Amino acid sequence: MNPNKSLSRRRLLTLGGGVAAGLTLAACGTGPASNGGGETSSSGGDGGSSGGGGTLELWGNTSIIGEADSPLAQAAAAFGEEFGVTVNLQGIPTQDLVPKLTTTAAGGSGPDIAIVDVSSIAQLAAGQVLADISSQSGEVAGDFPTELLAGASYDGKQYGLPYTTNNVALYYNKAMLDSAGIAVPTTWDELRDAAIELTGGEQYGYMFGAQGQGAFLFWPWLWQNGGQIVNDDMTAAFASDAGIEAFEFYAGMAMTDKVAPPEFIASNASWDQYVAPFAQERVAMMAIGPWGTFPVQDANPDLDFGIAPLPSRKESASVLGGAAVGVGHHAQNAEMAWEFVRWMTGSEQMHYIQDTGNVPGRTEVVESDWAKEDPLRQVFIEQIPVSRARPAIPTWGDVEWGVMANMWDSVIQGQAAPADALLAAVDEANNALSS
């Protein structure tokens, strides 16, 4: 089933301004969008096979919680039936999830279970929002790729199990490229040339995002040019010569070549406005993760598009994202909460995640028939080996969604030159990284 109903065809094809609330920045990939956000309950029977009883509270962003009949809601109902518990699902807007988890934990409460973006694991672990599950996770650690387990860990301890995994690839409109006689770009120069060639009139070659979107989507460019986000001592390294060169190329396509529609500067923490021009067939190419597929297909079922690996330069790279599921530090039913985490990430439950269009974080999925049956999905799976995680730092959110987001906006709003803005961001980033 497809729980992605927040971006109806009419809504996405007519989206022009304002901040839409549907396809929120789950960084990147905590699931397709929904109109969820309220609380739903999945009740088990009186005689679950493992006994149990009681209630579990599960929090996640609105995208991953979904509507009342979402795959996660179905999974929660199945777990409740088997274990004789009631699982309450609460969807929270992405930008509010970590602050709410942190605030409630500081007050000694919070959910039994949380599904969170992997980039926030370090912050939530250091803040005692998530519980250390190292003693339990050892029994299933072999079921997950090492890099994905590492993404759900902090300071050598495990704070969650991989739920979904994703990365960013290149979406392209086949008809636009074919009519211009342009092959799918595989290098930076090919991408730039294609984007310029495909821009004219009301048509544009490539989509950019604003604020945190622009910062997040820059990281592959940095890595592909041989740069790094941080040094070994966790000081900012993104403004090296390689970083400046990559950023000037990236920003130059938007500001000098003007290959993106002007309204891109209003695209923000919601992916709605970012995806809309591509679905409307006004933009030929965009970089996004698998969370972009359902909205495009739902909004424009007749659009013939493909997905390819990101164009590269010195090396191939994408940004690793996804979600992890963990036990709340103040869980009222910690033992049953761990049972849900173990059960939900098990092989027999993979279909609930697959039904959302996301890639489960289990090792076996790479060679599965499901992975190979869809060429669009296969691209993301093939890019996993070259996908890199962002730094596991408790204050990472302050860097990416604060310092870097503001820096990018200063560039696209014409307030600062790319190199100057990137260099100025170093001191701010170091202050955040050391706090």
pLDDT digit string, tens, across residues 148-179: 999 999 999 999 999 999 999 999 999 999 99
CATH architecture of structural domain 169-319+391-434: 3-Layer(aba) Sandwich (3.40)
Here the tokens at position 141 are 């650690």
Count CB atoms within 10 A of the CB of residue 365: 19
Q: Each residue of 290-343: pLDDT tens digit?
A: 888 888 998 999 999 999 999 999 999 999 999 999 999 999 999 999 999 999
Give yes or no for residue 274 having a pLDDT over 80: yes
What per-residue confidence (pLDDT) applies to 12?
43
Residue ranges, CATH 3.40.190.10, the chain? 9-166+321-388, 169-319+391-434
Instruction: Report if pTM > 0.85.
Output: no
Query: C-alpha angle 300/168/398, rounded to 5°?
Result: 115
Q: Each residue of 39-51: pLDDT tens digit?
A: 555 554 443 334 4
Q: Each residue of 4-37: pLDDT tens digit?
A: 333 434 334 444 333 233 343 344 543 333 333 3
- What is the CATH topology of the domain spanning 9-166+321-388? D-Maltodextrin-Binding Protein; domain 2 (3.40.190)
Burial code (b: 16+ CB inside 10 Å, e: under 16) for 78-104 equals bbbbbbbbbbbbbbbebeebbeebbeb
- What is the secondary structure of 144-175 as a DSSP string? S-HHHHHHTEETTEE--EEEEEE--EEEEEHH
Least confidently predicted of 83-87, 381-385, 415-419: 381-385
E-assigned strand segments in 31-158: 39-43, 55-61, 86-92, 113-117, 153-154, 157-158
Helix (H, G, I), strand (E, B) or coil at 1: coil
Share of the chain above pLDDT 70, in %: 87
Phi and psi angles of residue 374, each rounded to the nearest 5 degrees, phi first: -125, 110
Helix (H, G, I), strand (E, B) or coil at 110: coil
